[in-house]
Structure 1
Amino acid sequence: MSSAFSSFSAVSDKLFQAKAQKGLTFDDIAKAIGRDEIWVAAAFYGQAKPDAEELAKLSEVLGLSPLQNDVSAQWWPMRGDLGPMPPTDPVIYRLYEGVMVYGHAIKAIIHEKFGDGIMSMINCKVTVEKKPDPAGDRVVLTFDGKYLPYSKW
């Protein structure tokens, strides 16, 4: 992995290698274990925490020895590790740029429609879809997060 991911665990490396050897997509794995593809990718990057049942299913799908042996009960996800800031990866930088360019406008619209509060990223459903377009395929990125009024956070 690149230096931006040097803090990732040996378990992440094992997951990525097994995924590549099996020729599976994140969506293939997600369907096999009953999760969505974004959650599966987040787990591979150490940013989501699989429970014992999910670890067993991952082990089976990827043909690995039980991952419970590799993941201690004290392991916690490392959320928010994008590497250097601003991000240097072009895809991650464009997402970062989107928030820099549209962040205030999105915030204003959230406040107009909901009031003073936030969109929670806890239990947020994220989807990435491909939308054909004559001018070039489009990426449709959806964040489906729960609204929390200021008084709740």
Structure 2
Amino acid sequence: MNKLELTETIFAIKKEKQLSWQAIADGIDMSIVWTTSACLGMNSFPKEQAEKLMEFLGLPEESLPVLMEYPTKEWDKSVPQDPLVYRLYEVVGVYGDTLKEVIQEKFGDGIMSAIDFEMDVQKEENPKGDRVILTLNGKFLPYKSW
């Protein structure tokens, strides 16, 4: 079994059992964003969470090393076609340089870590249409001179 096959298995079980990502995350005591990302193969599970996921979903024993395997974090570099993913791509395209300027003005020359990082998704009900609130929280890493 490889990561792609395991991801497909997880999706099939999720659909069969009518589970939400939140229910799966709660079942392994992790955040919804991290759990979903790890189930999609973009993060490796620590052994304890891998075992919890296997028990919660009824995954076969051979899933353990695959869940714990370090991922290669690659993605298709073409413009995304899915409308939601495209809009996030568009946000970075339109506001990426602005965010870079503002972050560097406030913190100095450096980057926001995607390793020492947390992300959250919230829903805000609004009479004009519900709002999506994305929180990206990463440690600032200054560039060093040598």
What is aligned with 1:100?
93
Report the alpha carbon displacement of residue 142 of structure 1 after superposing the two structures with TM: 0.8
Report the alpha carbon displacement of residue 63 of structure 1 after superposing the two structures with TM: 1.9
Where has structure 1 moved over 4 Å in runs of 4 or more?
none
Higher strand share: 2
TM value normalised by structure 1: 0.85
1:79 aligns with 2:76: no
What is aligned with 2:35?
40
For 1:35 and 1:65, how far apart are their aligned partners in 2? Answer: 21
Say what the alpha-carbon RMSD is for the aligned residues: 2.0
Residues 1:11 and 1:120: Cα distance change in structure 2 (over 3 Å): same
For 1:60 and 1:99, how far apart are their aligned partners in 2? Answer: 38
1:109 aligns with 2:98: no
What is aligned with 1:59?
54
- Secondary structure, in 3 states, of the residue corresponding to 2:66? coil
Structure 1 regions of 5+ residues with no counterpart? 1-6
Q: Match of 1:57, as an amino acid?
A: K
What is aligned with 1:12?
7
Report the alpha carbon displacement of residue 149 of structure 1 after superposing the two structures with TM: 0.6
Structure 2 regions of 5+ residues with no counterpart? none
Checking the alignment, whether the CA contact within 8 Å between 2:44 and 2:67 is kept in structure 1 is: no
Q: Match of 1:101, as an amino acid?
A: V
Number of positions where the alignment pairs a residue of Structure 1 with one of Structure 2: 143
